[in-house]
Structure 1
Amino acid sequence: MVRKVLEFITPDWTMPDHIQAYTTTRKGGISPSPYDSLNLANHVNDTAENVEKNRKTLATALKLPTSPLWLQQTHSTEVVNSQDWYEGIEADAIYCNQINHVCAIMTADCLPLLLSNESGTEVAAIHAGWRGLADGIIEKTIAQFDDAAEHIYAWLGPAIGPEKFEVGRDVYETFLSHDPMAEVAFQATDDSHFLADIYQLARLRLRQHGISRLSGGHYCTMTDASRFFSYRRDGETGRMVSLIWISNK
């Protein structure tokens, strides 16, 4: 199979040159349908050989200084420091203040959230599905930073859009029980179903904790099938990866 050219999305923020941050699209790998083509997840039914080749292609394309620190994501609020990482660790966010530790989280509708302080000495990557978001994954990750929240930038990567993310009353009530202001992120479709804006829910949490320098949040993984994997759209599918690291450039 001929590899297509990889495509990446980069955060629309102003960061020092030594901060490297990217989100992959589905384009550029070798995996067959329904993982076509740059599937980077080894927990779906794609072959281990395909995933390994795709990861090597990614490393070459981005000239990664080291292998990404892959997480076993479980929709938890567990945050790991990159210095404490080990293969197979279960966590849904990773914080780093070390050079060339490549932080990575995988998504296919959930929100990938990248953080960096203004001086580029601290970064983090968050897998923010609705459960982790409601339970405080953002707050726990921010707490890892030494720098003040007003010096932290946040970029909201490709996730399911507000016109497609239908949830039940349980999700609606979970968020409102934490903050009644979260109601602005929900639109009722009937008595028991709502359209949820995961971007708005994340922005509310970030702003409540002092982070106001926000960008991104204008994608929809479910409707943009040519660029993005979407679990809700396809069921069996691949995963994109969002990466951030402090380089020694």
Structure 2
Amino acid sequence: CLSVSVFVSLSLCLWALCLFLLLLCLPPCISCPPNCQCSDGSGLMTVHCSSKNLKEIPKDIPKDAVFLKLEANQLTHIPSHAFSGLTLLQELDLSQNTIEKLDAAAFQGLSSSLKLLDLSHNQLRSLPKEALARLKAKIRLSHNPWHCECTLQEILWEVKLDPMSVNEMACQTSVREEAIGKPLVQVLDSGANFCSSRRKTTDIAMFITMFGWFAMVITYIIHYVRQNQEDARKHLEYLKKMSSGTLAVGSAASVGLEL
């Protein structure tokens, strides 16, 4: 009985040791968002979340993700810090959604490793300047119902547009009627400047403000001068009364002495 017990104990120990070694040899478990597929081919983590009817950016995206595919979903809004911590991300595909709004810090946390950001085929009409300010990646903004105005023009001066899709970025509405329905690049190449009207408005506002301050200063000076003149007149009348009283007292004293 003792021999059998020792044999069983040794067998269990060997099985436990084999199981432990097997677990050590297995690859680490990869956390992947629900309904998404994560693959680590050639050491480059790719997260596929395409055509999953997603309405929000999925959670638990692997931190070592290099390619993130979120196209053809139902995303309408990209909140602040939506991709924070994905410092190895090189390509982010958000095309073919219904995105209408980007928060100013939507892409904050993405490093200079990002090479491509695809926002084409969405419902964007405008962008906050800060959203794309620090990105060095090529950006696709085609096939959106853009409202062409000064802010959008200033953004285009700062970002690096994908040359393959830049001609497909058109003005659905605009502050300049002649730009409606035309490719934005074509409008800008023709010499149009969406910021000229803003500068004129700013100049007019500054002129009105300066004129208002000038009028206030002039009014104050006039009031001050008139007030001083009134005070001086009253003071002069007071001195005249004082001198008249002094003369009257002196005359009475002289009469008294003569008597």
TM over 0.5: no
- Give 1 or 2: higher helix fraction: 2
- Give 1 or 2: higher strand fraction: 1
Which structure has more relative contact order (CA 8 Å, sep 6+)? It is 1
Question: What TM-score, normalized to structure 2?
Answer: 0.27
